[in-house]
Chain A
């Protein structure tokens, strides 16, 4: 764990996903569920009622299929889900750039889900249940959520807190470096996690092959994608967005 430059008091955590490397194995989805105490799906659950914080879409581009992992984009500009929540259950943390969801405050009105253009939010349609004994393996750093509340990716908040504690023990201050579960689990190392205040990482996110989903909406997403395949870039382009490099 390394402290970033002392001049940076805050971080802007972001992800850079290399679509050329992603083979759609789903290890990131499993790691995410295990890390964040997402319960196994109920027998009658469907892909539309599941609790996946991270979904991997298959892109049929005519030739070789491509896969695109989609999670909460941690929108930084007028975060769409934050302003609509009637009881302040969604918070944007200026110290990290992460959009937090507070399930204990959530009314379950699902207005934030309607507001999210990435459909990255999921609702607890059932009471969370784990098979006998499996609850012993829950992550103590992440609270389980109740039925009737909304949840979503928070760039592994439990890991960030653990990193903060470690930094405090080591006498360090400022933003910390850590790795979310999906990035750690990816066997192809397709997911990279970093801080946009880190110039090297920021430059990689802004190179000519990198793009963000639905940039034209102006929500300032902090998940970047990269591919060398023009057809994949085309397939991820918004309906009327200007053609990318």
Chain B
């Protein structure tokens, strides 16, 4: 009986696991969601002393991972831009999946931000009397507007559900919404561009923190542009990676190989450009920006260990240049394992970059008689972030099961059935 009801919601022509197996898959994520909800409740009820953040580590695991998921979620805006504006029509096969990933990443980030601030009920102050000079104001405005755009972009994906399509009004609404989607893709691109950039600007403008401070172009520090470029570079990689993982987990082919190739090629080109500009920026910082502020750059790496020069090498060469070269060479890119491996490396590279700006900046002392401090998150911090991961997995899993995330899946299933 339950299976029959469930089947009525699943799109025609595609196969899905039995409902009981789907529940087994969802149960651990639901348990993690509950644990995370409890941790969030503790932080909101009692205060942020439940975390291991302190007066030095004012940003911790949450902000670092927020920055990371937002960079990875850039696949949503950039795939939309490539499809609707640059007419890369083959990306139609992954746009729905990219929108769901973007929605999950951005809504998860907003949720964690609401827990991270000490007075979440005062969040509206930023809209009512904003400080226009603050990068955080730009972040707040853009993230809120772009989340709204993502919700609008999700509506047509949702309305394409087999049961909802029965209602003619839904179908008509979906049709008209689809016609104006190019407008939302453009708005989303603009908002996300500024949002990714202002997240980079958050650190680049810290003139009291020579490790993070960067020279600027007009009112924006170089990190503004580097964050945009790095997010654009890894966005398609993350879309390819999640699609590959979805294929592995479900055991089905979801998109044609050409889609992977397009995503990999675009990601590789942008990653190479990012590595080039990141090298220029680092050289400028080492030779000019940091010394001018009284801090020779080599002093930042004297502590070794977790914050040694290996970070710089890993971020730029190992997790930047290497995946870029793999993704750019057609023969290497053609091998799925290599392509997804390079995509994973690129994503790790951006994760490391966000770690450096969030955590390393705060770990390093500025005053000569102060010392390096380390920090390890509390279980509440891990659990609250687990909440976002579980929420993302559940939203994506339900969307995959009941909506059409990969329009090519049906065609590929039929081809395989014919064989």
Interface residues of A (CB under 8 A from B): 42, 44, 46, 48-50, 57, 59, 68, 70, 78, 80, 83-88, 105-111, 113-119, 121-127, 146-150, 213-219, 235-241
Contact = CB atoms under 8 A, between A and B. Distances in A.
A108 B119 contact: yes
Given A107-B125, A148-B47, A48 B367 contact: no
A221 to B, nearest CB: 10
Given A49-B49, A107-B126, A239-B296, A118 B367 contact: yes
Interface stretch (B33-41, B132-140, B248-256, B410-418): B132-140
Contact of A214 (B48, B56, B116, B367): B367
A212 B133 CA distance: 27
Given A107-B122, A115-B208, A239-B299, A123 B369 contact: no
Contacts of A107: 117-119, 122-123, 125-126
Contacts of B331: none
B58 A216 contact: no
Interface in B106-127: 116-119, 122-123, 125-126
B367 A87 contact: no
Contacts of A78: 207
A121 B394 CA distance: 40
Nearest to B50: A125
A168 B210 CA distance: 44
Nearest to B58: A110
- Most chain A CB within 10 A, of B137, B210, B369, is at B369
A78 B362 CA distance: 21
B369 A110 contact: no
B126 A86 contact: yes
B117 A116 contact: no
Nearest to B138: A86
What is the interface residue range for chain B against chain A?
35 or more
B285 to A, nearest CB: 14
Contacts of A125: 47-49, 54
A48 B296 CA distance: 27
Nearest to A78: B207
A110 B299 contact: no
B59 to A, nearest CB: 6
A70 B365 CA distance: 14
A113 B116 CA distance: 14
Given A86-B137, A216-B294, 19 more contacts: A48-B56, A83-B134, A84-B205, A87-B122, A87-B131, A105-B125, A106-B119, A106-B122, A107-B117, A107-B125, A109-B136, A114-B209, A114-B361, A115-B207, A117-B208, A126-B49, A148-B118, A216-B293, A219-B208
Given A105-B125, A148-B117, A218 B58 contact: no
A86 B142 CA distance: 13
B370 interface: yes
Given A87-B122, A115-B206, A218-B207, A121 B117 contact: no
Contacts of B59: 110, 114
A231 to B, nearest CB: 12
B118 A236 contact: no
B346 to A, nearest CB: 27
A189 B172 CA distance: 80
A239 B119 contact: no
- Most chain A CB within 10 A, of B57, B294, B361, is at B294
A167 B25 CA distance: 73
Contacts of A57: 367, 369-370
B377 interface: no
B291 interface: yes
A10 B202 CA distance: 33
A48 B49 CA distance: 11
Nearest to B212: A114
Nearest to A61: B369
Contacts of B202: 111
A86 B209 contact: no
Contacts of A70: 367
Contact of A84 (B49, B117, B136): B136
- Most chain A CB within 10 A, of B117, B119, B126, B361, is at B119
A44 to B, nearest CB: 7
Given A59-B369, A219-B207, A106 B118 contact: yes
22 contacts: A46-B54, A48-B54, A86-B136, A87-B137, A88-B130, A105-B122, A107-B119, A107-B122, A108-B119, A111-B58, A114-B206, A115-B207, A115-B209, A119-B56, A123-B118, A125-B48, A125-B49, A148-B48, A149-B119, A217-B294, A236-B369, A239-B296
B129 interface: yes
Interface string B356-374: 0000011000111110010
Given A57-B370, A149-B119, A240-B295, A88 B131 contact: yes
Nearest to B302: A239
Contacts of B206: 80, 84, 114-115
Interface string B186-227: 000000000000000010011111100000000000000000
Contacts of B134: 83-86, 111
A241 B296 CA distance: 9
B53 to A, nearest CB: 8
Contacts of A148: 47-48, 117-119
Contact of A109 (B57, B117, B129): B117
A146 B206 CA distance: 26
Contacts of B169: none
